[in-house]
Amino acid sequence: MTVLTFITFLLFLLISSLCAVGSITHSAFHRLHDRPVALYSAIKSGLASFFPLLGTLVVSQIVVLSIFISFGVFLSLGVGVDESWSAYFRAVSAAGLFALLLYLQVMWSLAFAVVVVESKWGFGALIRSWRSVCGMRLRGVVSCLMVLSGALSSILGLFSWLLEVASESAAAAWKSWAIAGLLAVTTILQMLVLLYHAVAITIVYRKAAGGGGEEVSNPVDYVKLDMGDDELVSASVVSV
């Protein structure tokens, strides 16, 4: 696989994933309110949400990159530390960095749902997600969802890698076809994991919004969504 092919594959994966998240979140949110969802409306929402989702992803990665740079500067301060404490210092620092990044992922878990439903993006979506998760004390639920989907995706990814290794050493034609079929099934299962994770996050977002995860200035805040016939439907979000 050439570098150009690999970059093209990554771009295709990024674009398709963000569009899928937008369409799935839009459809799931409407179904949670017992509203019919048209295929055209779902596709339109996925395409319309692509750039806001991409912008939010870029902003979050900039924050993560800034944390990594700060971590590198912090480690450089321990260069003059006694060698017996150097390994301990680095281990504790690495554990702290991992815990911080994991905590950020949990607190930002509803950001994509906020982008699709509330038309916020960037820091606005990240802050809204943070307040919703913190206000409704949903850190445990979100953490369980992340661990479950991450574990399933890792297992399927490892299985796919093993199948690719086996396909290179397969001599018989029927073995190659069998491995290709298993790879196709594994890919479908990975997409199902993405689907159910996006739906679960949308359900958590609806609970956070309906339960008043964030204080608002007005008693009722209205979330506007585009329907298939371009009508605007308001879903009330009552603050407690």
Q: What range defines the domain where residue 91 resides?
A: 3-238
The number of folded domains in the chain is 1
Angstrom distance (rounded) from CA 169 to CA 171? 6
Nearest alpha carbon to residue 238 among 217, 219, 213 = 219
Q: What is the pLDDT of residue 146?
A: 83
Q: What is the average pLDDT score of the chain?
A: 75
Tens digits of residue pLDDT in 153-193: 888 888 877 777 776 665 555 566 777 777 778 878 888 88
Q: Measure the CA–CA gap between 236 and 225, rounded to whole angstroms.
A: 12
- pLDDT, residue 21, reads 85
Q: Which long-range contacts (CB under 8 A, 24 or more apart) does 118-127 make?
A: 118/223, 119/52, 119/224, 120/52, 121/52, 121/53, 121/55, 121/56, 122/55, 122/56, 122/59, 123/59, 125/52, 125/56, 126/56, 126/59, 126/60, 126/63
Residue 59 has a pLDDT of 92
Quote the CA–CA distance of 28 and 203 in Å, as a whole number.
8
Residue 25 CA from chain centroid, whole number:
11
pLDDT digits (tens, 9 = 90+) for 194-220: 888 888 888 888 877 765 444 433 323
- Residue 58: what pLDDT? 93
84-105 pLDDT, tens digit each: 666 777 778 788 888 898 888 8
Instruction: Write down the pLDDT at residue 89.
Output: 74
